[in-house]
């Protein structure tokens, strides 16, 4: 379950310690030392999860979390706040700002990794290794395999990620920009037409079992995966 994690921490030693531990666990870590830096990174590409230190110079971690929650594009990014403050009122303030979880310093790397896993499972099921099933279509993240009506279907890596996202967010219409953000992590440097190309490839890959029917084009809006195609 490797995730792109944006770590916002101003203290170099702590930043290094956390980053090394997360990378050791297989995650990809992008670092920022303040909220402004983090906002710049997020503008270009959405991370899978934000790990934000409460006490930052300038805009505080809580204010950054609140800002993320207010914008449509970033409101669904899972957020964990790191803090040295353990008072109950601080915890409440953090959660009210929109954080999904709250980890008090000092914490063990193991605890942090467990929290990250739990938050991803809850908020971003496409990031976990749990198999997903729908209308006879089964996707297994751990083995990277897809079965349609019990036969193995061949998917490229992008089509696999796209299908994983659609299956874990089924019955909803996703715009091309949203799919770029969630599947490619990037909505600025990748053209929206790219989505159409990969949807076409995905449909072709699902054809042998007839599951290509589950992917609907919603005119003017985007794409939807549905268990009951029209
Ligand atoms: Ca700090």
What CATH number did the domain enclosing 144 receive? 1.10.10.10
Q: Based on the domain organization, do 105 and 158 belong to the same domain?
A: no
**Structure-model confidence comparison of residues 123 and 116, the more confident one:** 116
Residue 119 lies in a domain: yes
Asked which of 83, 103, 125 is the last residue of a domain, the reply is 125
Residue 160 lies in a domain: yes
- Look over the chain and give the mean of its residue pLDDT values, rounded to a whole number: 92
Residues 152-164: tens digit of each pLDDT: 999 999 999 999 9
Asked which of 125, 141, 170 is the last residue of a domain, the reply is 125
If you measure from the C-alpha of residue 38 to the centroid of ligand 1, how many angstroms do you get, rounded to a whole number?
14
If you measure from the C-alpha of residue 44 to the centroid of ligand 1, how many angstroms do you get, rounded to a whole number?
24
If you measure from the C-alpha of residue 60 to the centroid of ligand 1, how many angstroms do you get, rounded to a whole number?
9
Quick one: DSSP state of residue 143?
T
- pLDDT, residue 189, reads 77
Residue 230 lies in a domain: no
Asked which of 125, 148, 178 is the last residue of a domain, the reply is 125
Q: Based on the domain organization, do 90 and 172 belong to the same domain?
A: no
Pairing of strands 4-8, 28-32: parallel
Spatial distance between the Cα atoms of 144 and 206, rounded to a whole number of angstroms: 15
Q: Based on the domain organization, do 116 and 138 belong to the same domain?
A: no
pLDDT band at 111, cuts 50/70/90?
very high
Q: Based on the domain organization, do 140 and 109 belong to the same domain?
A: no
Number of domains the chain is built from: 2
If you measure from the C-alpha of residue 41 to the centroid of ligand 1, how many angstroms do you get, rounded to a whole number?
19
Strand order in the sheet with 28-32: 28-32, 4-8, 49-53, 79-83, 101-104
H helix runs in the chain, sequence order:
12-24, 35-44, 61-70, 88-96, 109-123, 157-168, 176-179, 193-206
The boundaries of the domain holding residue 165 are 132-225
If you measure from the C-alpha of residue 1 to the centroid of ligand 1, how many angstroms do you get, rounded to a whole number?
27
If you measure from the C-alpha of residue 185 to the centroid of ligand 1, how many angstroms do you get, rounded to a whole number?
27
What 121-127 contacts at long range (C-beta under 8 Å, 24+ apart), as own/partner pairs, is: 122/78, 123/76, 123/78, 124/3, 124/48, 124/49, 124/78, 125/168, 126/161, 126/164, 126/165, 126/167, 126/168, 126/169, 126/182, 127/1, 127/3, 127/48, 127/49
* Alpha carbon 116 to chain centroid, angstroms: 11
Residue pointed to by tokens 């993320």: 68
Phi-psi sector, 171: left (phi>0), alpha (psi -120 to 50), beta: left
> Taking the alpha carbons of 82, 83, 88, 89 in that order, is the dihedral positive or negative?
negative
If you measure from the C-alpha of residue 11 to the centroid of ligand 1, how many angstroms do you get, rounded to a whole number?
6
Residue 188 lies in a domain: yes
Q: Based on the domain organization, do 119 and 186 belong to the same domain?
A: no
Q: Based on the domain organization, do 121 and 142 belong to the same domain?
A: no
- pLDDT, residue 134, reads 93
If you measure from the C-alpha of residue 62 to the centroid of ligand 1, how many angstroms do you get, rounded to a whole number?
12
Q: Based on the domain organization, do 177 and 215 belong to the same domain?
A: yes
Q: Based on the domain organization, do 84 and 14 belong to the same domain?
A: yes
If you measure from the C-alpha of residue 123 to the centroid of ligand 1, how many angstroms do you get, rounded to a whole number?
25
If you measure from the C-alpha of residue 212 to the centroid of ligand 1, how many angstroms do you get, rounded to a whole number?
49
- pLDDT, residue 181, reads 87
Q: Based on the domain organization, do 120 and 15 belong to the same domain?
A: yes
Residues 148-206: tens digit of each pLDDT: 998 999 999 999 999 999 999 999 999 999 999 889 877 777 889 999 999 999 999 99
Q: Based on the domain organization, do 20 and 43 belong to the same domain?
A: yes
């Amino acid at each position: 379950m490797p995730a792109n994690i944006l770590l916002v921490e101003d203290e170099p030693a702590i930043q290094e310690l956390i980053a090394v531990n997360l990378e050791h666990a297989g995650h990809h870590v992008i670092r920022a030392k303040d909220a402004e830096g983090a906002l710049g990174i997020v503008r270009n590409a959405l991370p899978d999860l934000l790990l934000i230190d409460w006490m930052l110079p300038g805009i505080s971690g809580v204010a950054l979390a609140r800002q993320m929650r207010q914008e449509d594009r970033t409101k669904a990014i899972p957020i964990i706040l790191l803090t040295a403050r353990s008072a109950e009122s601080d915890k409440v303030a953090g959660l009210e700002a929109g954080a999904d979880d709250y980890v008090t310093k000092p914490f063990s790397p193991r605890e942090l990794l467990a929290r990250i896993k739990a938050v991803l499972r809850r908020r971003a099921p496409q990031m976990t290794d749990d198999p997903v099933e729908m209308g006879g279509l089964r996707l297994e993240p751990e083995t990277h395999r897809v079965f349609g009506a019990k036969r193995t279907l061949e998917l490229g890596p992008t089509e696999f990620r796209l299908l994983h996202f659609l299956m874990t967010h089924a019955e909803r219409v996703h715009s091309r920009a949203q799919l770029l953000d969630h599947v490619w992590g990037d909505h600025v440097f990748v053209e929206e037409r790219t989505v159409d190309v990969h949807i076409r490839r995905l449909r072709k890959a699902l054809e042998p079992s007839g599951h290509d029917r589950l992917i609907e084009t919603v005119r003017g809006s985007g794409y939807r995966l549905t268990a009951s195609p029209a």
